[in-house]
Amino acid sequence: MNVGRLRRAVLPALGVFAALVAPAACAENNETSNPNDTDNVQTDQDAAVPTTPEAGNGADAGQPEQEASSRETCSAGGFCTTPLPATFPLLAVTALDADAWAVGTQGVLRWDGTAWNHVHATTIDPSGAHDGVWTAKADDLWVAADRKVIRYSKQGGAAAGFREFANDFAVNASWLDPSANALWEVIRQDDGQSAVRRFVDAPEGGLTVQDLGIPVWPAEGGSYHWSSIWGFGPSDVYVGGERCMVNDCTWASWALRGAMAHYDGTSWSVTLLDEGQSVMATFGTPGQAEPKRLWFWVGYRTLYNSSMTTIRLVPIASDGSLGDPIVTKDMPMPPRNRP
């Protein structure tokens, strides 16, 4: 499970309180897992988790103080606040069963079943930010960051440890293909153009990087700018963004249209959407027991309509093409936390 894609709407608020609390499910779990890389890992063994009695249980149930404490630390749905061992804002979270990870501007946190621990202090400039964190199996983590990829995994017979690799580009979005354990990134190059790259483990602890060649210059003129990604497999990947039909779409809403690109394992095809809009986030349903569907968040440029954004759910045909929206919901435009 990965909710990094929702961080722009939810986690910026959590970041304000990151020095105080973090959300965690209250259910007990006996599975614990701790990184063993003593050179790179920093842990905080002193982080204490307050005991939060369930309302209605125990001899003191019903006392006003007890009920007030429960209301303050746990929600009706069973989510409770817990202390954090670090003070930097959190930006994304992922979990595999009870093994949860969170990433922020200065490092990686891990939930051991009882408490959060600061397990890796990143060397990324604090002015940068991690863009996504992904896990598909135990003791295996990918972190997509501006100008860096952070990897936590086992190499050979050694214990799992952290490794960092220079990426040299800003990250717009990321997605992990669990079938191949491959990290896909939509990056923004120094010339402002977009690209899609795929990272996989290489022998001896390195990474192999492949440029997937997403279209940037349409035959009809203008350029594509890509900003979101989701896939159902290595041969079924969707990337969202916009097409600008002139040199600068800032003052020309007629020249901007939303765009969705589909990769079939060999080549890309592009579908254009509405005028003046850009696909800012993309998320797909699994599509195993039911037909595949794709959610995407369509936002207007601020100069065109600063208050409007739309969430859409569309079906996906067998050839990968997008159908007419099943759900369309207009919503107020939330504040953006990055340009």
Question: What digits encode the pLDDT tens for the residues 198-254?
Answer: 999 998 889 999 999 999 988 878 889 999 999 999 999 999 999 988 777 766 677
pLDDT for res 128: 56
Residue 118 within a domain: no
Residue that is written with structure tokens 């990324």 in the block: 124
pLDDT for res 169: 85
- Tokens standing for residue 13: 């608020």
299-321 pLDDT, tens digit each: 765 555 556 788 899 999 888 89
Residue 270 within a domain: yes
Q: Strand order in 90-96's β-sheet?
A: 90-96, 99-104, 107-111, 116-121
pLDDT for res 125: 54
Residue 18 within a domain: no
Residue 97 within a domain: no
pLDDT(292) > 70: yes
- Distances 65 to 53, 71, 72, 131 between C-alpha atoms, Å: 11, 10, 11, 41
Residue 261 within a domain: yes
pLDDT(135) > 60: yes
Dihedral sign from CA coordinates of 299, 302, 303, 308: positive
51-55, 86-90, 142-146, 275-279: which has the highest mean pLDDT?
142-146
8-22, 57-71, 191-205, 285-299 — which is least confidently predicted?
Answer: 8-22
Domain count, the chain: 1
Domain holding 262, by residue range, is 214-339
Q: Please tell me whether residue 72 adopts helix, strand or coil conformation.
A: helix
- Tokens standing for residue 76: 């009706």
Start-end of H helices in the chain: 11-16, 64-73
Residue 232 within a domain: yes
Spatial CB neighbours of 216, under 8 Å, sequence gap ≥ 6: 193, 194, 195, 223, 224
* C-beta pairs of 248-254 under 8 Å, 24+ apart in sequence: 249/301, 250/301, 250/303, 251/303, 253/301, 253/303, 253/304
pLDDT for res 98: 83
Return mean pLDDT, the chain: 76
- Distances 250 to 145, 225, 281 between C-alpha atoms, Å: 27, 13, 20
Phi, psi for 295 (deg, rounded to 5): -95, 140
pLDDT(119) > 70: yes
pLDDT for res 17: 35
23-78 pLDDT, tens digit each: 554 444 333 334 333 333 333 333 333 333 333 344 444 444 544 444 468 888 88
Start-end of H helices in 217-321: none
Nearest to 9 by CA among 331, 242, 337, 308: 337
Residue 204 within a domain: no
Residue 132 within a domain: no
49-58, 146-155, 278-287 — which is least confidently predicted?
Answer: 49-58
